[in-house]
Amino acid sequence: MLVAAAVCPCPPLLVPEVASGAAPELDAARTACADAVGVLAASRPDRLYVVGPAGGAERTAFPQGSAGSFAGFGVDLSVRLGEGPRAERELPASLAVAGWLLDREQWAAAPLTGLGVGERRDAASCAADGRELAGSAERVALLVMGDGSACRTLKAPGYLDDRAAPFDAVVAGALAAADTAALLGLDVDLARELQAAGRAPWQVLAGAAEGAGLDGRLLHEDAPYGVGYFVAAWS
């Protein structure tokens, strides 16, 4: 059963070494992420699942100890998803950021597994994935990585799209209220057009949280660089 969830953005810029001189711009987001991870630890889970966007339409599991790197972003920095034997498969960027967050908070509350969710995976499949995770242990926690639309300004990665702000407003409201129906109702095609990489992971969360009776808190919301970033805690 799902007992707690944390939602965090997953830009590599969240890692100060990657952001370099721009690092202070995301200090508020980093602080909120730390608070959200703290909620997970306080829930005393039997298992933590770290869920983030990945390419394709399928899902890929990453065992504890899987490694990732920020070399592709010009930084000689590697991270691990918890302690354990190093796996051959490299973490996608979203789970590498999660690994950095957990290492920063010295996560030791429970064993963990990573799950890369294909950004083309449909809502029903994502919800089914979430139900499966929630049913895997008596006390399950989720760390859900994902960004909102990337079309909030003219300089955004996806340029300005007038649909982006309303889309992000729906996401923010759903995360604040732990509204699983609203998350499951996010349009897959619209999310893809707005480059909202968090859509699939959020719908995994929605499936996992069905019937769990969790309350939500939105800890942080911003759109630096024209991309929607949200931090939330459900417990």
Give me the CATH code for the 2-234 domain, please.
3.40.830.10
For the segment 39-75, what is each residue's pLDDT rounded down to a tens digit? 999 999 999 999 999 988 899 999 999 999 999 999 9
DSSP string, 44-111: --SEEEEEEEESSSSEEEE-TT-EEE-GGGT---EEESSSSPPPSSPPPHHHHHHHHHHHHTT--SS-
User: What span, in angstroms and rounded, lies between the C-alpha atoms of 48 and 98?
Assistant: 12
| Alpha-carbon distances, residue 111 vs 20, 65, 154 (angstroms) | 32, 10, 42
Domain boundaries, the chain: 2-234
As a whole-number percent, the residues of the chain with pLDDT over 70 amount to 100
What would the pLDDT profile of 196-226 be if each residue is shown by its tens digit? 999 999 999 999 999 999 999 999 999 999 9
- Return all residues near 97 (Cβ < 8 A) that are at least 6 apart: 8, 10, 11, 12, 14, 15, 52, 145
Rounded Cα distance between 150 and 229, Å, is: 10
User: pTM, whole model, 2 decimals?
Assistant: 0.96
